[in-house]
């Protein structure tokens, strides 16, 4: 469970820093157009921090880490998200600075999304199995006094 907490916490920090980076680099360069940088902050907070906080709650309920695909899910999802936001940051920074981005960057971003999707497939397989294998918790109101 600590691993999930640390992942959420790390994405929160990096997400907030990416928002600061976006604000400062656009201000320093008098940039007012559209760039990928505006999306990095949201991707990190939603797909990183919020997602892992939800997984943390599901871990508490269903012990997801007991599933065979939990570790592959965790590392695949993180790799996909890291690759995606790295390429978005590079592309956005180049846009703000007025440089063209090589077409190869789009392929890397697409690869990051594919890896992220594979991680999500592992997650839903793990969740589905653990929901059916984990007994329902006993609620206090169902215990006779």
Q: Mean per-residue pLDDT for 24-36?
A: 93
Count of CA atoms in the C-beta half-sphere (13 A) of 58: 20
What average pLDDT does this structure show over 39-57? Answer: 97
Interatomic CA distance for residues 57 and 59, integer angstroms: 5
Collapsed DSSP state (helix, strand, coil) of residue 134: coil
Backbone angles phi, psi at 23, to 5 degrees: -60, -45
What are the Cα distances from residue 9, in Å, to 5, 16, 26, 144? 6, 11, 26, 41
Query: What CA–CA distances, in Å, run from 100 to 33, 35, 80, 106?
Result: 14, 12, 24, 12
pLDDT of residue 143: 67
The tokens describing 135, both together, are 């007994």
pLDDT at 109: 82
In this prediction the pTM is 0.88
Please give the DSSP secondary-structure letter assigned to residue 31: -
């Amino acid at each position: 469970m600590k691993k999930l907490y640390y992942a959420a916490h790390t994405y929160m920090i990096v997400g907030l820093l990416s928002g600061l980076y976006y604000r400062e680099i656009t201000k320093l360069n008098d940039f007012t157009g559209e760039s990928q940088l505006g999306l990095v902050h949201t991707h990190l907070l939603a797909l990183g921090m919020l997602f892992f906080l939800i997984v943390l709650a599901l871990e508490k309920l269903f012990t997801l880490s007991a599933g065979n695909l939990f570790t592959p899910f965790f590392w695949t999802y993180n790799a996909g998200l890291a690759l995606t936001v790295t390429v978005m940051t590079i592309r956005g920074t180049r846009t703000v600075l007025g440089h063209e981005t090589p077409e190869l960057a789009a392929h890397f971003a697409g690869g990051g999304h594919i890896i992220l999707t594979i991680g999500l497939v592992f997650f839903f397989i793990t969740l589905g199995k653990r929901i059916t294998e984990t007994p329902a918790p006993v609620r206090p109101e169902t215990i006779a006094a």
